[in-house]
Structure 1
Amino acid sequence: MNEIGVRLQESCGRASLIVGQAMMAETSPRVVITGVGVVSPVGIGNDAFWRNLSSGRSGIDFMEAFVRSDLPCKFAAEVQDFDAMGYLRQRKMLKVMSRDIQLGVSSANLAMEDAGLSRGDVDPDRLGVEFGAGRISSTPQELAQAASDCADAQEAFEYTRWGEGSMGKIAPLWLLKQLPNMPACHVSIEFDARGPNNTITSRDASALLALAEATRTIQRGAADAMIVGACSSNVDPVDIARMNLMDSLSHNGEDPKRACRPFDMNRDGSIVGEGAATFVVELYEHAVARGADIYAEVIGLGAGCDGTGYANGAGGTGLVRAIQKALQQAQLRPDELGHINAHGKSTQRDDLVEARAYHRSMGTAAERVPVTAMKSYFGNFDAGSGAVELAGTVLALRHQQIPMTLNYETPDPNCRLNVIHGSPMRSRSSAAMTVNRTDVGQCAAAVLRAV
């Protein structure tokens, strides 16, 4: 074959590949959300969560879990009146569950109940789990006795004593409370889910990345349904001190309800919190066959990374790519979105990076599409906050109403976004996008459409 023939054959091959990929995209199995479960600082359960979101009730207050006099930030978004015993089937597992895990598994039980599914309703081999988790802290009490036994008479720490006997003062199963894969393990045990099981530990982006992997798992035929979520609890003195060193916590010491101010010109930092949300994600045909109530369809997913975090410029390249990919897959123009549920961390640097990413990825539509930032209600708590925000998006699509952003009073001229404030807003579209970004540049975006 001559050179022209070879090139023609190669061109035809590439064209066939492109057409084949396009056909695969058009015929990809539909994936829908049929259950939502929320355990959050603004409510446990969908009704309480949505009622407080839609009425503008903040879950941020003075910290109650610990004495706060020496902490750099006195505020937190804590889950109130929570007792895991009321939500778990496998209650004997509580002894090896940290607060994070309890929140996550409880939200999974609420989601499965909301979806109308009980243990055994889905073929166990066709039911999987995809869960996001952050850094799970141990409590000082768990290590206090072992640490004190290593001190000599002058209270100097003797390292040799650790192996000689102090280590034996730690409970044998102590580490099981801190492993980030344990939420997914406990959820699979709760519901006898023997299908694909994985854990995502990409901090704030974990929930959306878990949703993306679960969607692909269903689309490739490896599962009929997936239990998807994320959980975190950062209401811990060590976490607060660490986050204050590595990040920007609000030092507003007067009014906790006004401390978290995403995209406001006078924002001064984020607020720690805790919570979890879980979703039942199903193949559309599977959901229809069992008569499920469908919340929304997952129509677009995207991910990206800035590579070197903030050192890679202030434009948020990873978020730009994630947004563009999600919109491309959803086959939507930016101005067709009813709203964006923003990451809205409430730090000067993060919000600016995010706003510039919207302008780079969406052009002039970035100043028109309504934006809400739900961290103004419940702060930032790693993987779990992204999941709770996703729940807010799903319920906003269900109710066709977008919660306002709290404490947005003075627009930042460097952000130039259409931030919803003052009162909730009726949605103009059945589609919405939610995004998350970590401070080292891991980014994810998801586009959902009400069904």
Structure 2
Amino acid sequence: MEFKRVVVTGLGALTPIGNTVSEYWNALLNGVSGAAFIKSFDTTHFKTKFACEVKNFDADAFLGRKDARKLDPFVQYALYSTEEAVKDAGLDFDKLDTSRIGVIWGSGIGGLKTFLDEVVNFAKGDGTPRFNPFFIPKMIADIAPGHISIKYGLRGPNFTTVSACASSNNSLIDAFTYIRLGRANMFISGGSEAIINEAGIGGFNAMHALSTRNDDPATASRPFDLDRDGFVAGEGAGTIILEELEHAKARGAKIYAEMMGGGMSADAYHMTAPHPEGLGAALVMKAALEDANMQPSDIDYVNVHGTSTPIGDPQEVKAIQQAYGDELYRINISSTKSMTGHLLGAAGAVEAIAAILAVQNDIVPPTINHFTDDPSFDPRINFTFNKAQKRVVRAAQSNGFGFGGHNASVIFKKYEE
């Protein structure tokens, strides 16, 4: 069977460092940190008092107050980034076969804010179950692609991928697979997350997963730095329009890059800790390369998972060393989580956008907040510390690893006829 080629024709982003793709990309290249003290709730009694929140986002202005109240923030974010991507792709759905256009969306948690509010309200009452009738449809993780399909009348495959921090990488892989098998012409794919609330920050604090660098939030996310002390929570959404090549050409679409493949694996090791030797992470990178029919020598940039945790960063370095061998010393790697924080289920899509734009523009965004070398890392590795680096980026790989041992990795390359 001959596979269809799959290309990227539209991008949309809502991030802690920019509310459009251009704002996000410019902030990445300039090394802007999105971390600041939390404004959405009182952090007096919390160990971590900062996060990478979305800024200047007005859901009422975007959706109207009545409709905004019916949607959890993770759905609001999804609709917002998707609107940008649809416009960017120049899509007129009245002229397209919407039965062959689907939505596959990733979210690790879904409507956590809605769940928290409803349970707290119930606990404060007299035991009478006075739940909001929108409680369940606001909360469930699959509702984001549902709302996207309703808004645009898209009747193709529609579902959510849930694999913690690998969720939106999985959504991209699923969409890519359906298109290349000829089962759809186009997908709106990506992910969104909104966990900066009492339950999200408190829960991750209880796991000792978050940085507690309250004296300097802007530099708290320090991937691969000796003094890293945990990840910084982020929120937002990223949307990527994936389209079958001939379909895109027929409608005169602009093409950002070609998606070449994706890999999936499991650590099969621990509920939250990565395999100490990076076996699952190495396996998924190799699987993505094999799926793309590419070699390590074909890749110039890896957007790493790089969360800034003491145990997570070293295992990913070991994994890249296993997957790339001596080619590792030729490529750039960087963690854009140093700027955006960790968007959990949305991280894969937001970071895939960074990888796509690196391919398109031949520049690698940096890993900021590097102050002290970790002597356990090979000094020949180019982590792209603190400053973006211009270079030819023929192809880029982007990694996502999640609690439960879920690993997913995607590859994009320059589009050629």
TM-score when normalising by structure 2: 0.94
1:64 paired to 2:39: yes
1:148 paired to 2:124: yes
1:399 paired to 2:366: no
> Structure 1 141/447 Cα, relative in aligned 2: closer, same or farther at 3 Å?
closer
Match of 1:8 in 2: none
Equivalent-residue separation in structure 2 for 1:301 and 1:294 (angstroms): 19
Matches within 5 A, 1:39-54: 39-54=14-29
Matches within 5 A, 1:121-200: 121-135=95-109, 136-139=111-114, 140-150=116-126, 162=127, 166-167=128-129, 169-200=130-161
Q: Is the 8 A contact 1:120 1:191 kept in 2?
A: no
CA deviation profile, 1:348-376 (whole Å, cap 9, x unmatched): 10111111111111112234321110100
Match of 2:384 in 1: 420
> Structure 1 180/81 Cα, relative in aligned 2: closer, same or farther at 3 Å?
same
Equivalent-residue separation in structure 1 for 2:275 and 2:66 (angstroms): 49
- Cα displacement (A) at 1:141: 4.2
* Identity between Structure 1 and Structure 2 (%): 33
Q: Is the 8 A contact 1:132 1:206 kept in 2?
A: yes
Matches within 5 A, 1:168-317: 169-309=130-270, 313-317=275-279
Residue from 402, 410, 414 that aligns with 1:446: 410
Unaligned 5+ runs, structure 2: none
- Cα displacement (A) at 1:247: 4.3
- Cα displacement (A) at 1:91: 7.7
SS, match of residue 203 in structure 1: coil
CA deviation profile, 1:369-427 (whole Å, cap 9, x unmatched): 21110100111121012211111111222221111111122222323332002321113
CA-based RMSD of the aligned residues comes to 1.8
CA deviation profile, 1:310-368 (whole Å, cap 9, x unmatched): 77841222211111111123233223312100100000101111111111111122343
SS, match of residue 290 in structure 2: helix
1:30 paired to 2:5: yes
Matches within 5 A, 1:260-409: 260-309=221-270, 313-409=275-371
Moved over 6 A (4+): none
Match of 2:397 in 1: 433
> Structure 1 320/141 Cα, relative in aligned 2: closer, same or farther at 3 Å?
closer
Matches within 5 A, 1:77-88: 77-88=52-63
CA deviation profile, 1:9-46 (whole Å, cap 9, x unmatched): xxxxxxxxxxxxxxx3xx31100010000000010111
Q: Could you tell me which amino acid in structure 2 is paired with residue 80 of structure 1? A: K
Equivalent-residue separation in structure 2 for 1:195 and 1:313 (angstroms): 37
Q: Is the 8 A contact 1:73 1:251 kept in 2?
A: yes
| Greater Rg by CA | 1
- Cα displacement (A) at 1:109: 1.0
Paired residue total: 410
More helix by share: 1
CA deviation profile, 1:219-259 (whole Å, cap 9, x unmatched): 22221110001000121111111111224211112111110
Match of 1:110 in 2: 84
